[in-house]
Amino acid sequence: MTSQPKKSKTLHIILWITQALLAILFIGTGIFKLVTPVPTIAGLWPWAGEYPNLLRITGVFDLGGGIGLILPALTGIKPGLTIWAALGCAVLQLSAIVFHFSRGEAANTPFNFVMLALVLFVFWGRGMKARSNR
């Protein structure tokens, strides 16, 4: 009987670590996409020069997703929004994967697949916790 609370606490800690790392990554990427000049980013990611508006839009989504992954759960204000933020980040990563595959850039997607797996883990873990509190 004591293994269940320990397992739950371990999962809780792993979820927090994952959320914090994802939040840092999404917020950092969002800020980078929003404040760095497009020609500079296009030197790294050629698609950004072709689709500057998409770059800025994804920057807003990255920033919002990163904030949503950590702030509601951290403050306790509407913590269920973290689940929705994780789902939104998953949709963003799926969209990036489809976008890169459509451009013949499959080699650019492993990072997106890792991010997708991590945000789905947060979605599952926080969603499971929300269901157990009902």
Using pLDDT thresholds of 50, 70 and 90, give the confidence band for residue 130: low
Give the chain's domain count. 1
Instruction: Quote the pLDDT of residue 133.
Output: 58
- Are residues 58 and 91 in contact, defined by beta-carbon separation less than 8 angstroms? no
Cα→Cα distances 53→37, 61, 103, Å:
12, 12, 17
Instruction: Quote the pLDDT of residue 5.
Output: 66
pLDDT of residue 2 exceeding 90: no
Residues 6+ apart with CB under 8 A from 130: 80, 83
Structural domain containing residue 110: 3-132
pTM listed for this prediction: 0.89
How many Å apart are CA 92 and CA 98, to the nearest integer?
Answer: 10
How many Å apart are CA 109 and CA 102, to the nearest integer?
Answer: 11
